[in-house]
Chains A and B, each alone.
Chain A
Amino acid sequence: ILNVEQSPQSLHVQEGDSTNFTCSFPSSNFYALHWYRWETAKSPEALFVMTLNGDEKKKGRISATLNTKEGYSYLYIKGSQPEDSATYLCAIHVNRGSTLGRLYFGRGTQLTVWP
């Protein structure tokens, strides 16, 4: 069993606030980290795939950083909008032979942005 922890479990912010949340994972055998955005009744939407220590990715107002040595990633949303309301899932690949193809997910952070 591989534990991927996300915090906080839920977050409520006002429109215009900036916010961030954390994904923690075991650093051994790390291969890649994925961030997904998941709106209710829709399919999870891929935001970022990150592989290298120190990676920083950005997509509009959303950005992410990766620290593979200490086993964590941060997701930042600048100037949150109501349409950012969703569950943000973190998942990792580990390089352990036959398990390479599977993703290990955290429980997600549920973000609600109030107008």
Chain B
Amino acid sequence: DAGVTQSPTHLIKTRGQQVTLRCSPISGHKSVSWYQQVLGQGPQFIFQYYEKEERGRGNFPDRFSARQFPNYSSELNVNALLLGDSALYLCASSAGTSNYGYTFGSGTRLTVV
């Protein structure tokens, strides 16, 4: 069974540009969460989606948005990129919104120059 897959693995963007990151959850998992990890910090919660609805949003500006598709895959969009958006973006999938098992992908490394 394939794990959580994220694409692309690495990305370089210029300030002001827009970026879309993608995540495919484990088969059967209906919830996808997004986390941002900047160097030296623990991962910070951005969004959680369940059954295509937003179930939680972290303390991130409106430049960050996400959506979940009928097949439960998800996209994270960031507009008007800033240098400070450079980070590793992790996706995690789970069967529900608050059950215990979260499986992470290996992340997308975004560099904004």
Contacts and interface: CB of A to CB of B under 8 A. Distances in A.
Chains A and B bind each other: yes
Contacts, number: 63
B101 A101 contact: no
B3 A43 contact: yes
Nearest to A44: B104
A86 to B, nearest CB: 14
B102 A102 contact: no
Range class of the B interface residue count = 20 to 34
Contacts of B33: 101-103
Interface residues of A, number: 26
Nearest to B37: A105
A89 interface: yes
Contacts of A101: 31, 33, 48, 50, 55-56, 97-98
B40 interface: yes
A46 to B, nearest CB: 7
Interface of B: 3-4, 31, 33, 35, 40-45, 48, 50, 55-56, 58, 90, 92, 97-98, 100-107
5 nearest CB pairs, A to B: A105-B42, A102-B45, A43-B106, A101-B97, A100-B98
Interface of A: 4, 31-32, 34, 36, 41-44, 46, 49, 51, 89, 91, 93, 98-108
